[in-house]
Amino acid sequence: MNASIKTPDLTRQKLLEAAFAEIHRNGFQAASLTQILADTGLTKGALYHHFPDKKALGLAVIEEVIRPQLAAMMFAPLADTQQPLAAMQALLKGKASESDPWVVTLGCPLNNLMQEMSPVDEAFRLQLNSLFEAWVGVVTAALKRGLKSGEVNAAVKPGDTAFFIVSALEGCIGMSKNTQSVAAYRGCLGQLSRYLDTLKS
């Protein structure tokens, strides 16, 4: 009984994970539903049972795959910390030390979709912007705590600074994808870390 209850959820998750991989490789517009089905071994009926069309699948990928990934990777390290600058520098150091930074090859899934879909589809733009704003909000809240703890310079404007930090990180990833250079990626992260030094009290 329990297995039969869980099967639809597992099917949906398989579709979302395969769709995420296909979209990350090829972009949303070029993503192939045929390839997604081949990767999962599922039927068109299973796909359309969970998602009425390709657009619904793409929007679900943003909310149910990309958002949790971003939350685990970028939001969680800043949750409740009183030293956000140190936490962000540790995060950047960890990213720079990865032996296989896949974002250099494929880019950031969020940024890729923002560049591709925001100019052409309002539903995508709104959902992607919601996630971007959530990220900026997490960094803003962390910087405010840093102001209270004394780690962050009193002259820092949390909202504007958070927007810049997130944009700069996404820029590092986007340009490194274009150059396909791990060295450029690591160098850019290093520069961002040094910028964070200037925000300290």
Q: Mean pLDDT throughout 122-130?
A: 98
Query: Are 45 and 105 within 8 A, CB to CB?
Result: no
Say what the pTM is.
0.92
How far is it, in rounded angstroms, from Cα 156 to Cα 201? 10
How far is it, in rounded angstroms, from Cα 129 to Cα 133? 6
pLDDT tens digits, one per residue of 79-93: 999 999 999 999 999
Query: Are 152 and 88 within 8 A, CB to CB?
Result: no
Query: Are 36 and 47 within 8 A, CB to CB?
Result: yes
Q: What is the CATH architecture of 2-197? A: Orthogonal Bundle (1.10)
**What is the per-residue pLDDT for 6?**
56
4 band by pLDDT with thresholds 50, 70 and 90: very low
Amino acid at 130: S
Helix segments in the chain, DSSP class H: 2-26, 33-40, 44-50, 54-61, 67-70, 84-96, 102-106, 109-117, 122-149, 158-179, 182-197
How far is it, in rounded angstroms, from Cα 105 to Cα 184? 12
Q: Mean pLDDT throughout 8-22?
A: 94
Q: Does residue 68 surpass a pLDDT of 50?
A: yes
